[in-house]
Amino acid sequence: MPITVVGSIAFDAVTTPFGQRERMLGGAAVHFALAASFFDEVRVVGPVGDDFGEAELDVLRRRRVDVGDVERIPGGRTFFWRGEYGWDLNSRETLDTQLGVFEGFSPKLSDTSRSSDVLFLANIQPDLQYDVRSQLPDARFVALDSMNLWIDIARDSLVRVIEQVDCVILNDAELRQLTAKPNLISAAREVLSWGPRAVVAKQGEYGAALVTAEGFFALPAYPLEEVIDPTGAGDTFAGGLVGYLAHHPQSEIEHTLLTRAMAYGTALASFNVEAFGTERVERLSGEEIAARVEELEGFTRFESTPLQLLA
């Protein structure tokens, strides 16, 4: 099933202990689209400025991503984000965010983007997410990401759009902040009570957990010896997860399917962090993804044998 994604298309400046990039292609919608493009057709919706060139669009086009709804705003500047990571790659500091063309952006979706069965609302202002959600009333599956900024300044708007989606994908800290519940499971249950049927808690290098009405599932991150740049890992994870679901149009989207989707999200994210920005996923192959999913299956399978425990 084709997938539409709305979210940031960006230039990122990133410093990690292993190097730095002053201006690289980034943005939540870009990372998501590249990952999801391994599963189905992806349509990207979002604004860019005059400074966004054909070379950047070609990165998406090379993976057959439909960029027809990437809107160029004359005289505008592309969204810019600057972040820095220390030795703990699970936490980062945002040093600068310039909304640029996102200020005053009103999403105009083509008939093609509106006809997608699957929608991903990447991290942007929740009223914009709501607007796009309303333009795809018949979508079969809608997932959403957000961030602490919107929980801080637009919580009511965020809850309004969460009520209209099937799956919420957030960092564990964001889930706790959103619900004011310190326990991950009770935080997830609270979000489920608002309408979604699945909550995925991203836990950075520790993996991700899934909570649905049917149960609980968790996967560790793929064990890598070298992580270069975690930027975009969350969106790449979401691209793998949502892409996998989109690839299964005949199946009901229930707990077991979601657990398999989590494995693909985890595998995709592990490649993303091996290099700066989109560098690694740009040269990734389907065979590499499949091999890593198989490895993950091996790492996480175990059998418990009966044991006489001492009284």
CA 172 to chain centre: 14
Residue 237, token pair as written in the block? 């994870």
d(CA 27, CA 55): 15
Q: Nearer to ligand AMP by C-beta: 10 or 293?
A: 10
Residue 309 makes CB contacts below 8 A (sequence gap 6+) with none
d(CA 4, CA 114): 8
Helix, strand, coil proportions of the chain in percent (round to 5)?
A: 40, 25, 40
Q: Verify binding: residue 231, ligand AMP, rule CB under 6 A.
A: yes
Of 20-28, 67-75, 250-258, 285-293, the segment contacting ligand AMP by CB under 6 A is 20-28
What does DSSP assign to residue 62?
A: T
Of 36-44, 210-218, 229-237, 240-248, the segment contacting ligand AMP by CB under 6 A is 229-237
Q: Nearer to ligand AMP by C-beta: 196 or 232?
A: 232
Which residue is listed with tokens 């490649």?
271
Residue 236: how many CB atoms within 10 A of its CB? 31
Q: Verify binding: residue 78, ligand AMP, rule CB under 6 A.
A: no
Q: Nearer to ligand AMP by C-beta: 26 or 243?
A: 26
Main-chain dihedrals φ then ψ at residue 217, nearest 5 degrees: -150, 145
Task: Please list every residue from 144 through 173 that binds ligand AMP, using CB under 6 A.
Answer: 149
Tell me, what amino acid is at 116? S
CB of 268 to ligand AMP, least distance (A): 12
Mask: binding to ligand AMP, 98-137, rule CB under 6 A, as x and -?
Answer: -------------------------xx-------------
Of 185-193, 218-226, 233-241, 288-296, the segment contacting ligand AMP by CB under 6 A is 233-241
d(CA 167, CA 222): 23
Task: Please list every residue from 23 through 52 that binds ligand AMP, using CB under 6 A.
Answer: 26-28
Q: Which residue from 142, 222, 235, 276 is in contact with ligand AMP, where contact means CB under 6 A?
A: 235
Q: Verify binding: residue 177, ligand AMP, rule CB under 6 A.
A: no
Q: Which residue from 4, 8, 146, 212 is in contact with ligand AMP, where contact means CB under 6 A?
A: 8
Residue 242, token pair as written in the block? 């949502």
Which residue is listed with tokens 């063309």?
101
Q: Which residue from 232, 239, 240, 265 is in contact with ligand AMP, where contact means CB under 6 A?
A: 232
CB of 10 to ligand AMP, least distance (A): 3
Could you tell me if 274 and 224 are in contact, meaning their C-beta atoms sit under 8 angstroms apart? yes
Q: Provide the binding-site residues for ligand AMP, judged by CB under 6 A.
A: 8, 10, 12, 26-28, 81, 97, 123-124, 149, 231-235
